[in-house]
């Protein structure tokens, strides 16, 4: 084996080690194992942990139904749960709450 071939082989191994062996990647690959799943959840931030647990439960729930049936269900929101990024403009009650807060701030400022 000449030195160029050896150098290429070592470089490819080094490249694959840098890309594939991060702790997070390993946990994502092994998170389906019951013993590893809790370690994966513990490695996440608290908000991400709650979302990931709910998302995994949701995926497990929808896996038993056909896509045609799911599209007819009102509780189906897609293949994954959306992140909980709610705003005051999402529904009518939230908009009313926003207007109420705006009016109350005007009364507070006028005093």
pLDDT, tens digit, 9 for 90 and up, residues 22-62: 666 766 666 777 777 787 788 888 888 888 888 888 999 99
Residue 110 CA to its chain's centroid (Å): 44
Co-location of 44 and 73 in the same domain: yes
Co-location of 27 and 69 in the same domain: yes
Domain limits at 66?
23-80
Number of H helices, E strands in the chain: 6, 0
- Asked whether the beta carbons of 81 and 58 are under 8 A apart, the reply is yes
**Is residue 16 predicted with pLDDT exceeding 80?**
no
pLDDT, tens digit, 9 for 90 and up, residues 91-107: 788 788 888 888 888 88
Co-location of 27 and 76 in the same domain: yes
Structure letter (DSSP) for residue 111: -
Structure letter (DSSP) for residue 68: H
Position of tokens 């998170």?
A: 31
pLDDT confidence of residue 43? 82
């Amino acid at each position: 084996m000449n030195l160029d071939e050896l150098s290429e082989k070592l470089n490819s191994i080094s490249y694959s080690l840098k890309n594939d062996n991060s702790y997070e990647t390993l946990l994502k690959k092994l998170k389906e194992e019951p013993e590893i799943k809790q370690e994966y959840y513990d490695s996440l931030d608290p908000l991400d942990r709650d979302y990931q647990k709910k998302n995994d439960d949701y995926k497990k729930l929808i896996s038993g139904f056909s896509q045609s049936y799911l599209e007819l269900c009102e509780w189906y929101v897609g293949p994954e749960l959306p992140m909980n990024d709610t705003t005051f403009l999402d529904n009518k009650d939230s908009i009313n709450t926003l207007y109420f807060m705006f009016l109350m701030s005007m009364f507070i400022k006028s005093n």
